[in-house]
Amino acid sequence: MFDHAIHDEFAAAAVPPDLGSAQDSGDAKVEELARMLAPLSPAERMARLRRELPGRIVFAHGFGIEGQLLFHWICERGLDIEVVTLDTGRLFPETYELWALTEARYGRRIRAIYPERGELEALVAAQGINGFYDSERARAACCEVRKGRPLERALAGASAWLSGLRADQTATRRAAGLVARDRGRGLLKLNPLYDWSRAAVLAEVAALDVPVNALHQRGFVSIGCASCTRAVAPGEPERSGRWWWEQDGNRECGLHVRR
228 as an active site residue: the answer is no
Residue 165 CB neighbours (<10 A): 22
Sheet with 160-162: strands ordered across: 111-113, 82-86, 57-60, 160-162, 188-190, 179-181
Beta-bridge partner residues of 162: 59, 190
Q: Which amino acid is at 8?
A: D
* Active-site residue (options: 142, 143, 228, 253): 253
CB 210 within 8 A of CB 192: no
Q: Are 62 and 173 in contact (CB under 8 A)?
A: no
Angle 42-52/65-77 helices, nearest 10 degrees?
60
Measured CA to CA, the distance from residue 140 to residue 129 in angstroms comes to 14
Catalytic residue IDs = 253
